[in-house]
Structure 1
Amino acid sequence: MKPLGDVEKISGIAFGFMASKALFSALHLGVFDRLAEQPRTLEELANLTEADAPQLETLLTGLVAIDLLEKEDDTYLNASESDTYLVRGKPNYYGDYLCYQIDRQMYPFMEHLVDALKGQTERIKYEDYETWMADPEQARLFSESQHHGSLGPGAVVAKRIDLSQAKTLLDVGGGTGAFSMMMAKRYPELTCTVLDFPNVIKLGEKLVAEADLAKRIGFIGGNALKTEWPGQQDAILMSYLMSGVPGDSIPGLLDTAFDRMAPGGTIILHDFMVEDDRAGPPLAAMWALQHMVFTPRAASLTPGFLADLLEKSGFTSIRTMSLIPGMTKVVHARKPRAQ
């Protein structure tokens, strides 16, 4: 007989969606926000969230069991991680990203994963990012939540890759310009151009204006695979683009980047990547899997795979670093200066 632990591991994976839905439901109800104000009883939370107390108690019990909440006598309070990341208005909050993009968009898409694996796309509503982002409401929901989820990683990339000599940056598939905003804030001489779908850049123009960066960050509405890119760029950034396009289009994107870049320029690829041995990490592997539902021919990326393609396109000084632990990496390189 196999150890019980083997069964528990399988059950933990199979029933993991229940914990996800508990987290998402708590975010939609504002449970973490209310507990950030002060510890509260079941009755107090039921009144504040407009939930039925018996049903809410079941949810709160689940949240305590998965360590998102703590319970002291009859009072509930946030666990430290919940207080840091799941309370609206706090610097590291990313609850909107979870309860809108992940819960309302990505979660339902996964229902069609088997269809995608079999190449049966008839029931899949959006065949790629372009058709998905052509829906104005879907574009708004995705872009608003993604913007807040990208500001932190954007700040890290801006700090760790030196662009102090760059004057221009092309942010290909740059969404609402979150990464460009962080780059522009760190490098006052840098001017950025964001290329993304028209419904996405509508929100980006608004957010950039609110950040008082409209004079330094411009937008081009289009498709990175079809629209002509401006040339002589000192830096080209592609964040989350490689995992959202067919794998066989990646070499062409890198060739275009090389052509559109000034000699000595820097290319930055940020994306979900598993290790070269393809043994993990789990979160990066799962993100690649869910991308297949609306990009059936997307590739599961590794640093070595991208490094080889960069070298074939002519780039040198190729380097890799981790960004979001267990999820994303950055591969960056340079275009040689003219001999």
Structure 2
Amino acid sequence: MKPIESAEDISELAFGFMASKALFAALHVDVFGALSDGPKSITDLAAATKVPAQRMQTLVTALVSVGLLTRNDGKIANAPASDAYLVRDNTNYFGDYLRFQIDRQMYPFMENLDKVLLGDTDDIEYPDYASWMADRHHAELFSRSQHSGSLGPGAVMAKRLLKEGAVSEDVGSMLDVGGGSGAFSIMFCKRFPKLHATVLDFPNVIEVGKTFVAEEEMSDRIDFVAGDGTNANWPNDQDIVLMSYLFSGVPEEAIDKLCSDAFRVLKPGGLIAIHDFMVTDDRKGPALAALWQLQHMVYTPDGVGMTPGFVEKHLKKAGFEIEIDDDLIPGMTRVMTARKPG
């Protein structure tokens, strides 16, 4: 990333939250859905969203200025990416992830960042991930919104592991530690027809996961174990142990135990797959991965901003042999796989 050089560059960073809130507000009133059947005038768009025209005009101007909408001959239309990813009925929609988890949870949590940096956490309502997920409302909101944001990466990861020969098509068992809504397990089961997955997560979280699995008619292939992945009893004889976004949600001291527990329950030749936010080993970026690590610190103050080298070190310490290290969500997450010797 090139160092910034002007006051305008600083202002663009400082005022960036305004663009975020414009996006979230548009999702909440379904601006993008209202435009899914074609361009509209401000008057028609205001009527469709039940937002007064003067206010809609101001919101639309902001959305056009950041590229989420276009304006031509007095008509407002979705930008291509908005049409593909922010319209609720579309297959690739992840707007609920943005408007609920990011806007309603992550955004206000960041108000505590300065307190966490200084260790002044006594009056923070949720000082760690476990206490946050113990709140039934927050656990449900987080899990439901995260589901829509994880289906795509789960599908990409399953396809890649098959293509690269890391996992065979007839693989039989997978433990999804911290698997939340079951999104990754669902997409893995769709890719691997003989797979049976077990999702291990907090009690409030797995209740949400059970509903998604039932909707996919996969209750006979995906089951759930309630518990904290850092100290629960893990089922043995696994072909795969998957940990997606888990390392970034636990204290650094827990990572060695997670790796050793995975090594213990895997069959000889079994695979561990780590998917998480990772910056480069020189810690110069990418920006989205670095910012997500900063956000996670708000409710995991003793966590660590991971690099590929850091993850590799802990996996090797547990006895694994590294196989794959590559981007999954470009500029944001990486996947690293390692094998238990056969």
Query: What is the TM-score with the length of structure 2 in the denominator?
Result: 0.96
Equivalent pair of 2:312/2:322 in contact (CA under 8 Å):
no
Partner of 1:117: 117
Amino acid at match of 1:307: E
Partner of 2:234: 229
Tell me if 1:57 matches 2:57. Answer: yes
Partner of 1:26: 26
Equivalent positions of 1:256-267 (< 5 A) are 256-267=261-272
CA distance in 1, matches of 2:43, 2:122: 47
Partner of 2:147: 147
Partner of 1:17: 17
Q: Give the alignment's Cα RMSD to 1 decimal.
A: 1.1
Residue 74 of structure 1 and its aligned partner are, at CA, apart by: 1.6
Tell me if 1:81 matches 2:81. Answer: yes
Residue 5 of structure 1 and its aligned partner are, at CA, apart by: 5.9
Amino acid at match of 2:50: E
CA distance in 1, matches of 2:297, 2:122: 14
Of residues 192, 201, 219 in structure 2, which corresponds to 1:196?
201
> Secondary structure, in 3 states, of the residue corresponding to 1:161?
helix
CA distance in 2, matches of 1:255, 1:330: 19
Of residues 334, 337, 342 in structure 2, which corresponds to 1:332?
337
Residue 318 of structure 1 and its aligned partner are, at CA, apart by: 3.3
Tell me the alpha carbon deviations over residues 129-156 of structure 1, each in whole angstroms, 9 at most, x when there is no partner.
Answer: 2111111111111011101111110011
Residue 178 of structure 1 and its aligned partner are, at CA, apart by: 0.6
Of residues 285, 301, 325 in structure 1, which corresponds to 2:290?
285
Equivalent pair of 1:233/1:261 in contact (CA under 8 Å):
yes
Partner of 1:47: 47
Equivalent positions of 1:101-180 (< 5 A) are 101-162=101-162, 163-164=167-168, 165-180=170-185
Amino acid at match of 2:200: L
> Secondary structure, in 3 states, of the residue corresponding to 1:268?
strand
| Structure 1: runs of 5 or more not aligned | none
Equivalent pair of 1:42/1:75 in contact (CA under 8 Å):
yes
Partner of 2:276: 271
Residue 168 of structure 1 and its aligned partner are, at CA, apart by: 0.8
Tell me the alpha carbon deviations over residues 192-230 of structure 1, each in whole angstroms, 9 at most, x when there is no partner.
Answer: 000001111111111111101111100001100121101
Residue 45 of structure 1 and its aligned partner are, at CA, apart by: 1.4
Tell me the alpha carbon deviations over residues 273-329 of structure 1, each in whole angstroms, 9 at most, x when there is no partner.
Answer: 101110000000000001111111111011110001101100013320100010000
Percent identical pairs in the alignment equals: 54
Equivalent pair of 1:167/1:189 in contact (CA under 8 Å):
yes
CA distance in 2, matches of 1:135, 1:331: 31
Query: What is the TM-score with the length of structure 1 in the denominator?
Result: 0.96
Tell me the alpha carbon deviations over residues 37-75 of structure 1, each in whole angstroms, 9 at most, x when there is no partner.
Answer: 221111111112111211221111000100111001221
Moved more, 221-230 or 158-167: 158-167
Tell me the alpha carbon deviations over residues 145-183 of structure 1, each in whole angstroms, 9 at most, x when there is no partner.
Answer: 101111110011111113225311000000011101111
CA distance in 1, matches of 2:48, 2:260: 55
Of residues 298, 302, 308 in structure 2, which corresponds to 1:303?
308
Partner of 2:299: 294
